[in-house]
Structure 1
Amino acid sequence: MSGAVVATADRHIVVAAVALVRDGCVLTVRKRGTERFMLVGGKIEPGESPLEAALRETYEEVGLRIETATLLGDFHSEAANEPGHTLHSTVFTIESDAVPVAAAEIAEVRWTPLRGHPDDLAPMLEHHVLLVLVEAFTNR
């Protein structure tokens, strides 16, 4: 997930993200100064639900104003850009043909294939979320 994230004392990061899916691909982003692509998303602000955070981050990072999304699930993995940290992400999905534009700390946006993807993905996306997305979107 991109965006500023806050780690608790036990080095655990909690974020919310959106998997924007279209034509067998998911929108991924790469933050400035990093190499791994991840889902759009970031930290949950005080008083904000995971869904509200995910929708806000989608607007801030790629300029897409999304009104609602469907819960995909909660996922846990090692963090991509914070060595020694773990990550808990609540992920939502939407299908969209909107055109994202890199904003805020995002250096690059890319539509990444659900199958046969490059090897530059964040661990959460590559080892957990993509498996669920493939199952959810390939039989449509």
Structure 2
Amino acid sequence: MPDIHVSAAVIHDESGRVLVVRKQGTTAFMQPGGKPEAGENPAQTLARELEEELGLSIDENAMRPLGRFISAAANEPGHRVIADAFALTIEADAVTVQAELAELRWITPDAIGTLELAPLSLEHLLPIAWPDVLGSASRG
């Protein structure tokens, strides 16, 4: 199974909601982030992607590393995604849809089962975001 390397962000707002995004031409919501450009480390990739997709300027040192996780890719059938994930907290009104994004949503655990979510989000990142509700995820 071909691998797609990405960096992804688990972004909370002050009320504990988590940000998910949907790219244009897709149906699944996922954590913001994306693929690295040549020479970037995972934190640099994520900082660039957050600025491009959400207009969010984040210092790499403000992101807390969560680990590396592996799941089936949401938008590339037959591929798996290997994600270096980071956590941060921002104000909800600090982000706007830009670049290839179609939509963003701030969700609570109630969205599980009502919103199409990427496997990486369901299996790993949202359980980290809400450990008291969804339990802890195993590292990939």
TM-score (norm 2): 0.85
Matched, 1:63 2:55: yes
Q: Unpaired runs of 5+ in structure 2?
A: 135-140
Identity across the alignment (%): 39
More helix by percentage: 2
Instruction: State the distance in 1 between where 2:53 and 2:132 align.
Output: 25
In structure 1, the residue matched to 2:30 is: 38
**Paired AA for residue 17 in structure 2:** C
Between 93-102 and 103-112, report the one with greater CA deviation: 93-102
Pair 14,136 (structure 1): closer, same or farther in 2 beyond 3 Å: farther
**Paired AA for residue 63 in structure 2:** A
Instruction: State the distance in 2 between where 1:47 and 1:126 align.
Output: 30
RMSD: 1.8
In structure 1, the residue matched to 2:118 is: 122
Instruction: State the distance in 1 between where 2:20 and 2:100 align.
Output: 13
In structure 2, the residue matched to 1:81 is: 75
Q: Unpaired runs of 5+ in structure 1?
A: 1-9
**Paired AA for residue 28 in structure 2:** R
Which one of the candidate residues 87, 94, 97 is aligned to 1:102? Answer: 97
Aligned length in residues:
128
**Paired AA for residue 27 in structure 1:** L
Conserved? CA contact 1:18–1:55, under 8 Å: no
Structure 1: which 4+ aligned runs deviate by more than 3 Å?
none
